[in-house]
Amino acid sequence: MCEFRVKLKDGNVLTDITEGIVFCTIKDGEIIFRGLGVEKKVSGGIITEFNVIGEESAYIHIVKSPIISEFLKFIDKEQENKNGNLSKTDLLNEWEKVNGNIKNFLMNLE
């Protein structure tokens, strides 16, 4: 079985987050990594590199941003709309929330 190391990429710096990962999924704006006895949640992350060269060098790199979290939450809502569980008006309202949250984030950058 191939197990992965997960590293957070911040510019050119890589920081170990967890290892021994065999499964990952995205739910409610978080990436959930699982391994044997290991579970690590990363809010607002997105996988930027996934490498399966061999067991010794298998890794996943991620980056984090509040903007990513907002988009992932919206994608969940979009799927609800496709499944008939959310109206188009509700989906548009969700987009306005996302847009407002992203705008606030950008306005507060230093």
In the chain, which stretches have pLDDT less than 70? 1, 54-56
Domain that holds residue 35: 4-64
Report pLDDT for 28: 81
Q: Which of 18, 21, 25 is nearest to 1 (CA)?
A: 21
33 & 13 share domain: yes
Can you spell out the DSSP letters for 44-76?
TEEEEEEE-S-TTT-EEEEEE-HHHHHHHHHHH
Tell me the pTM. 0.75
Give residue for tokens 């197990």: 3
Looking at residue 86, what is its pLDDT? 87
How many domains in the chain?
2
pLDDT of res. 23: 94
Using alpha carbons only, give the angle 71, 35, 45 rounded to the nearest 5 degrees: 20
Q: Describe the strand order of the beta sheet including 4-10 as a list of residue ranges.
A: 38-43, 30-35, 13-27, 4-10, 59-64, 45-51
The pLDDT value recorded for residue 29 is 82
Same-domain status, 22 and 60: yes
Average pLDDT score over the chain: 88
Amino acid 32: pLDDT: 95
